[in-house]
Each structure stands twice: as structure tokens, then as C-alpha cells.
């Protein structure tokens, strides 16, 4: 049995362990809440993360599709971009998957080529995650800069330091 087939059989276990490692990157109290609260309305971060991880594992067991992988990573990276994670912390969970797969699947039954293919797919996932994270952070900084410009303009206008151009 190949790596892809074994991965498909162990999908639930791998997702569970991967989710545990993702939430371990949060402060202890937050991690406890994310792991214990099962209600998707009370815990949208946990629900979104778990769903995205499940989709990513399913994508690893099928033909690689960059657009689908990006769509699955997008919600998680948006969440992590607005939190106080560095880029390495925000996307480090992707690399955790390699260790989990090595732990769960018996290496003696797999070829080097199978491992290389899987690691290449996970590396591609990490690159997509980094791109998404940076796009989100750029948007956040752009919004902050625009807000500061608006605030400054309003303060100057209120102080009478800015004169609106007269309509012709």
C-alpha cells in the first residue's frame, strides 16, 4: 500500500494530531478553549481550523490542486495574520504535518520517492500559506495607514488647517 492510501486510511488520526499541534501554538487558556469547545458558533476559530486541516489532508491524498489548497489555507492564514503571530509561528503548523505523517505511517513500507513526493506537496502548502499570510498582513498595514491618514485629515480639518477646494 502506498503513502497516499495509508494517509487516506489514517486521515482522522492525522487531522486530530495536527489540530492539537496547531492549537498548542496558542496561549494555554486559548488552546484549552479551542480544543474543548465543539460548538462552531461559540468557537469559530477552532471549527474553521479543524475544517481547513481536514480539507488539506484530503487534498494531499488526491491530485495536487494549488487553487484548492490555497482556498483551504486561506481562512486559517487570515485568522493567524490578525493575531500576534510572527510569519514563522503563523505558518509553522504546515511543517508539523511532516512529523505527524512520519509518526503515524510505517516508514519501512514506504519508498523514498513516496516520501519525497509527500514532502514536496507539504512544502508547496507552506509556500502557499506564507503567500496568504503576507497578503493578509499587507492588507492590515494598508488599512491601518489609511485609517491614520483619515484621522489626521479630520483633525486638521476640525482645527481649520485644511481648506476644501471651492467648487467651480
Q: Is residue 163 part of a domain?
A: no
Q: Is residue 166 part of a domain?
A: no
pLDDT of residue 167: 55
CATH code, domain with 87:
1.10.490
Q: Is residue 80 part of a domain?
A: yes
- pLDDT tens per residue across span 86-140: 999 999 999 999 999 988 887 666 778 888 888 999 999 999 999 999 999 999 9
44-60 and 11-23 helices, crossing angle to 10°: 140
Integer Cα distance of 63 and 65 in angstroms = 6
Q: Is residue 164 part of a domain?
A: no
Q: Is residue 77 part of a domain?
A: yes
pLDDT of residue 6: 81
Cβ proximity of 92 and 130 under 8 Å: no
Query: Residue 165 pLDDT more than 80?
Result: no
Q: Is residue 124 part of a domain?
A: yes
Region of 160 (left: φ > 0; alpha: ψ -120 to 50; beta: rest) is left
Q: Is residue 122 part of a domain?
A: yes
Tell me the pTM: 0.82
Mean pLDDT, the chain, integer = 88
Per the structure, the complete domain to which residue 43 belongs is given by 3-158
What are the distances in angstroms from CA 83 to CA 27, 66, 123?
A: 12, 25, 23
Q: Is residue 167 part of a domain?
A: no
pLDDT of residue 7: 84
Q: How many domains does the chain have?
A: 1
- pLDDT tens per residue across span 47-65: 999 999 999 999 988 877 8
Q: Look at 36 and 134; give whichever has higher pLDDT.
A: 134
pLDDT of residue 36: 85
User: What is the chain's length?
Assistant: 168
Amino acid at each position: 500500500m502506498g503513502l497516499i492510501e495509508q494517509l487516506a486510511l489514517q486521515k482522522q488520526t492525522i487531522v486530530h494530531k495536527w489540530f492539537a499541534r496547531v492549537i498548542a501554538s496558542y496561549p494555554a487558556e486559548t488552546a484549552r478553549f479551542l480544543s474543548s469547545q465543539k460548538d462552531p458558533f461559540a468557537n469559530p476559530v477552532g471549527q474553521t481550523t479543524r475544517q481547513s486541516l481536514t480539507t488539506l489532508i484530503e487534498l494531499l491524498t488526491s491530485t495536487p490542486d494549488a487553487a484548492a489548497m490555497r482556498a483551504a489555507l486561506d481562512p486559517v492564514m487570515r485568522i493567524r495574520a490578525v493575531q500576534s503571530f510572527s510569519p514563522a509561528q503563523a505558518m509553522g503548523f504546515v511543517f508539523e504535518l511532516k512529523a505527524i505523517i512520519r509518526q503515524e505511517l510505517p516508514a519501512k513500507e514506504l519508498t523514498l520517492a513516496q516520501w519525497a513526493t509527500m514532502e514536496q506537496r507539504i512544502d508547496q502548502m507552506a509556500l502557499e500559506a506564507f503567500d496568504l499570510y503576507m497578503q493578509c498582513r499587507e492588507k492590515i498595514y494598508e488599512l491601518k495607514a489609511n485609517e491614520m491618514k483619515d484621522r489626521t485629515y479630520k483633525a486638521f480639518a476640525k482645527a481649520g488647517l485644511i481648506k476644501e477646494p471651492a467648487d467651480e
